[in-house]
Amino acid sequence: MELILAIAIGVLAASGVYLLLRPRTFQVIIGLSLVSYAVNLFILAMGRLRMDAAPILDRSAVNPGDYTDPVPQALVLTAIVIGFAMTALFLVVLLAARGLTGNDHVDGRLD
C-alpha cells in the first residue's frame, strides 16, 4: 500500500510539475491542481498509513495505537479547501488575462 501511494504521489507531482512549466495558462492550472492532489496525499501519508482504524477516539480509556492520527486528516481538509479556493481565484484571473490579451500564453504573447 505504501508503494502504491508513493507511486501515485510521484506520478501526480511529476505530471503536475511538467504541466506547470508549460507556456499555456490552462496547462498551468491543471498542473497546479495535480500538484495540489499530490501534496494532499503526501500530508495524509505523513500521519502514517493505517487500514481500518478510526481517527476519532470513542471511549475514555483507550490505546492511542489503535487509532489513526487525526491531525493530518484535519490538515488535509484545510489544505483542500484553501487550495480549491485559490485555484478558483486563479481561474478567474486567467480568464481576465485571456480576455485582455486575446490568447492564453502565460506572458500574454502572440506567437
Partner 1 sequence: MAEPMHMAILPILVPMAAMIANLFFNNLRLADRSVWLVRLNIAFGLALLVVAVALLVMLERLGGSLAVVYPLGNWPAPFGIVLVADRLSATMVLVTSVLSLAALIFATARWHARGTNFFPLFHALTMGLNGAFLTGDLFNLFVFFELLLAASYGLALHGGGRNRVKAALHYIAINLVASFLFLIGVALIYGTTGTLNMADIARAVPLIAPEDRGLFDAGAAVLGVAFLIKAGAWPLHFWLPNTYSAAAPPVAALFAVMTKVGFYAILRLWTLVFANSSGPELAFGQGLLMILGIATIAFGSIGALSSKALDRLASYLILVSAGTLLLAVGYNAPGVTSGALFYVVVATLAAGALFLLKDIIDQILPAEAQVLAVSLEIYGDEDENLDDDEEVSRTVPGSATLVTWCFAIAALIMAGLPPLSGFLSKFAMIAAALDVEAASAATWWLIGAMIVSGLFVLVAMVRNGINIFWTSLPDTDIPRIPTVEIAPIVMLLALCVALAFAAGPAMDFFTDTAAFIHAPGAYVSSVLTEPPTP
Amino acid letter, 67:
Y
Phi, psi of 42 (to 5 degrees): -65, -45
Least distance CB 14 / partner 1 (angstroms):
14
Residue 19 near partner 1 by CB under 8 A: no
Determine the Cα–Cα distance for residues 50 and 54; give it in Å rounded to an integer.
9
Query: Exposed (0-12), middle (13-18) or buried (19+): which is 90, by Cβ within 10 Å?
Result: middle
Q: Which of 6, 14, 46, 53 binds partner 1 (CB under 8 A)?
A: 46
Grid cell in block for residue 2: 505504501
Work out whether 35 is an interface residue with partner 1 (CB under 8 A). Answer: yes
Residues of this chain that interact with partner 1 (CB under 8 A) are: 20, 25, 28, 32, 35-36, 39, 42-43, 46-48, 71-72, 75, 78-79, 82-83, 85-87, 89-90, 93-94, 96-97, 100-101, 106-108
